[in-house]
């Protein structure tokens, strides 16, 4: 592959600054001056930020000096209501969207009035009012979020485009490839803009990829690509406008590669010692601010006096904004406030079924029926998953949905779990509800980052809820081996910002699913595969809800409490029948986050002996959290140690005898005997 000096061919071409667009229309002198104001503003802010950084008044800064034409070009080329998903060095996006500088500076300083209330730094924020969705540190995931916004635009046929930024380094991430693939397959009006500045932090591109240019990566996805001189502001504006027209008219994604260079380090502490001196000198000559200013002066569009006046006005605005931001107090620590912002408000409305006919249905039927009724109730609900459309899903839960609700709302997906989960967040930003089906709960590892760092943290960070239900077919007992049998709910109970439910009966499955869709927050909905067709009961035909966070007392008892959920409920009931002499109270948690501490405490106070059971491997399982809480909060009511039982600390084996040994059912009997001996 060519070395980094491939960019030597990019020369400042004064002809491109003729003031004429490619359509033959001329920019007026006034519009060219306005473009200059938009370009110089982020440069002047950056210069001030670097001073503040040296003074210790801000803690970190990612400089975009040398790349301003890209961010400003995008901001000026799009309509104000079209979403932009920028990155570290795209200050020009925020300024071109006219975000008040006081708010921007308060964000940089971690003040309460900042967009994240002091919870995140720099450009890690979004603002729906300005149609901006900020990045997370993992870089690539925002590309998939852009897909979701673009999908919403396509469903609404509103002739809008979405644009997501990426650096050249992030094009090596799997998320980049998943996002491009999904956008191409779904024909989404989205622009993927890659700022190719030659380095991923300090690693040059010839150590990042082997294709001649990043735009070549579009070929494999059947996607059109455009390459542009990212230091030429008018060329940037034109290229983005052209890409927008193509994306909307053809309802297709476009990859734009903007060739540029950053004149400072990845962030200020990094420095630029790894960059050859001659390369720095060459790109300094291509500085987008200096060259555009020179063009305006040489063509007598602007005078030195006007430039000085413009800069003076912007500097005054900066100082005023900083003064107001500095005057604000630091964010006060409030446990109540922190916890309150973790989830979007979700007042639970309990909808009880009307006295209508009930039917004896299986767990799998209850889930299907609940999903169907949610689709009827919420016309903004979109289902996404592998094979869920014509095929009806591997467990046939969505069979017949395509004919009723159509391809727009029942969407087959490529094998791109991460990209689809990211798209779900994008749909939420546009006011949609989504359901993402993991074909098996085990496969959620491929989308872990989106759930843990995007869905879970979005509302806490910048007030954007993620109205997403992730259905998770889970559990062993079906002889499916290590990759189709895991109980992985504890991975998510440890993550603030997620709700986790785990029904054990058809009635609860239907009611909790309805509640999950009514809740505007991300809900992980676990459904045990071995229970799909092995249990049934009378379930109301009506739409009804069961509150998330409320346990169910399965059986009343006085000698022993068994706290469990999912398959554990059925094991406990079977064992209780084996020991009629022991009065066992079985508590089905139903919800793990939040979980019903009051119900658990009431049971402990009643029986004074507790066994906590789950199917998950014992070490690190959710049973440990329950047991620890009981030991701390109910110690005075206990007549024996809190005991636990779970599966062996091994992967889930395939062979029947090995799997039976792995699961805790047989060990439960011994634990009950041991507990009753106290």
Structure tokens at 385: 């998953």
387, 406, 404: which is closest to 395 by C-alpha?
387
CA angle 578, 583, 588 (to 5 degrees): 85
What is d(CA 567, CA 504) in angstroms, rounded to the nearest whole number? 6
As a dihedral over the C-alpha atoms of residue 185, residue 187, residue 191, residue 195, rounded to 10 degrees, the angle is 20
Checking 113-116 for CB contacts under 8 A at 24+ apart, the result is: 113/325, 113/328, 115/462, 116/461, 116/462
Say what angle helices 101-108 and 304-327 make with each other, to 10 degrees: 60
Which entry of 27, 131, 459, 484 is annotated as an active-site residue? 484
Cα dihedral 352→354→355→356 (10° resolution): -120
Burial of 311 (0-12, 13-18, 19+ CB in 10 A): middle
Helix, strand, or coil (residue 140): coil
Q: Three-state SS for 333?
A: coil
Structure tokens given for 275: 């960059």
Cβ-proximal residues to 243 (8 Å cutoff; 6+ apart), any chain: 161, 191, 226, 254, 256
| CA–CA distance, 626 with 467 (Å, rounded to integer) | 27
Q: Annotated catalytic, 484? A: yes
Cα–chain center distance at 76 = 27
Q: How many residues does the chain have?
A: 678
C-alpha–C-alpha distance, residues 440 and 437, integer Å = 8
Whole-number Å distance between alpha carbons of 591 and 525: 9
Distance CA 300, CA 8 (A): 29
CA distance 365 to 288: 62
* Closest by Cα among 54, 620, 148, 87 to 420: 148
Q: Are 374 and 538 in contact (CB under 8 A)?
A: no
How far is the C-alpha of 75 from the C-alpha of 262, rounded, in Å?
Answer: 19
Active-site residues, by number, are: 484
């Amino acid at each position: 592959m060519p070395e980094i000096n491939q960019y030597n061919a990019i020369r400042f071409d004064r002809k491109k600054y003729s003031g004429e667009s490619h359509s033959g229309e001329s920019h007026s002198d006034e519009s060219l001056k306005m473009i200059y104001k938009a370009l110089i503003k982020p440069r002047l802010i950056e210069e001030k930020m670097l001073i503040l950084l040296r003074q210790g008044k801000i803690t970190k800064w990612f400089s975009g000096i040398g790349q301003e034409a890209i961010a400003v070009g995008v901001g000026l080329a799009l309509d104000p209501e079209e979403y932009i998903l920028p990155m570290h060095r795209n200050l020009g996006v925020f300024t071109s969207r006219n975000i008040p500088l006081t708010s921007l500076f308060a964000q940089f300083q971690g003040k309460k009035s900042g967009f994240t209330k002091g919870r995140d730094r720099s450009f890690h924020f979004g603002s729906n009012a300005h149609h901006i969705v900020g990045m997370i540190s993992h870089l690539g995931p925002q590309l998939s979020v852009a897909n979701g916004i673009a999908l919403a635009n396509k469903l609404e046929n509103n002739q809008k485009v979405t644009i997501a930024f990426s650096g050249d380094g992030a094009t090596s991430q799997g998320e980049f490839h998943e996002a491009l693939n999904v956008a191409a397959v779904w024909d989404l009006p989205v622009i993927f803009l890659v700022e190719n500045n030659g380095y991923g932090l300090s690693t040059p591109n010839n150590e990042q990829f082997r294709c001649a240019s990043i735009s070549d990566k579009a070929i494999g996805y059947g996607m059109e690509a455009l390459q542009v001189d990212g230091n030429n502001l008018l060329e940037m504006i034109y290229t983005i406008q052209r890409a927008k027209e193509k994306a909307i008219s053809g309802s297709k994604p476009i990859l734009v590669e903007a060739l540029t260079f950053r004149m400072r380090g990845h962030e200020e502490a990094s420095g630029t010692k790894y960059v050859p001196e001659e390369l720095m000198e060459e790109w300094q000559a291509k500085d987008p601010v200096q060259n555009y200013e020179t063009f305006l002066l040489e063509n007598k569009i602007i005078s030195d006096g006007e430039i000085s006046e413009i800069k003076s006005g912007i500097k005054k605005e900066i100082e005023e904004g900083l003064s107001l931001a500095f005057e604000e107090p630091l964010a006060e620590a409030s446990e109540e406030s922190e916890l309150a912002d973790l989830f979007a408000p979700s007042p639970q409305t309990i909808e009880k079924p009307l006295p209508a006919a009930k039917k004896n249905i299986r767990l799998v039927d209850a889930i299907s029926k609940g999903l169907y009724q949610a689709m009827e109730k919420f016309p903004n609900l979109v289902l996404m998953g592998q094979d869920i459309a014509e095929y009806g899903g591997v467990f046939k839960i969505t069979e017949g949905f395509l004919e009723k609700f159509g391809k727009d709302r029942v969407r087959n997906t490529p094998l791109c779990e991460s990209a689809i989960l990211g798209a779900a967040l994008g749909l939420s930003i546009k006011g949609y509800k989504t359901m993402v089906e993991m074909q098996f709960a085990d496969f959620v590892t491929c989308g872990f980052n989106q759930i843990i760092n995007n869905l879970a943290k979005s509302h806490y960070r910048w007030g954007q809820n993620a109205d997403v239900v992730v259905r998770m077919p889970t559990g062993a007992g079906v002889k499916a081996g290590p990759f189709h049998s895991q109980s992985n709910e504890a991975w998510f109970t440890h993550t603030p910002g997620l709700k986790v439910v785990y029904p054990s009966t058809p009635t609860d499955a239907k009611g909790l699913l309805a509640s999950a869709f009514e809740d505007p927050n991300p809900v992980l909905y676990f459904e045990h595969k071995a229970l799909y067709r092995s249990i049934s009961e009378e379930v109301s035909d009506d739409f009804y809800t069961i509150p998330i966070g409320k346990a169910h007392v399965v059986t009343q008892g006085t000698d022993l409490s068994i706290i469990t959920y999912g398959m554990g409920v059925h094991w406990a009931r079977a064992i209780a029948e084996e020991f009629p002499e022991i009065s066992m109270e079985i508590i089905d948690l139903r919800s793990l986050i939040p979980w019903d501490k009051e119900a658990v405490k009431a049971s402990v106070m009643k029986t004074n002996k507790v066994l906590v059971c789950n199917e998950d491997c014992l070490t690190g399982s959710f049973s440990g959290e329950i047991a620890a809480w009981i030991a701390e909060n109910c110690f005075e009511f206990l007549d024996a140690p809190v005991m636990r039982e779970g599966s062996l600390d091994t992967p889930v084996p395939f062979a029947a005898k090995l799997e039976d040994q792995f699961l805790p059912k047989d060990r439960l009997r011994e634990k009950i005997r041991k507990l009753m001996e106290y």
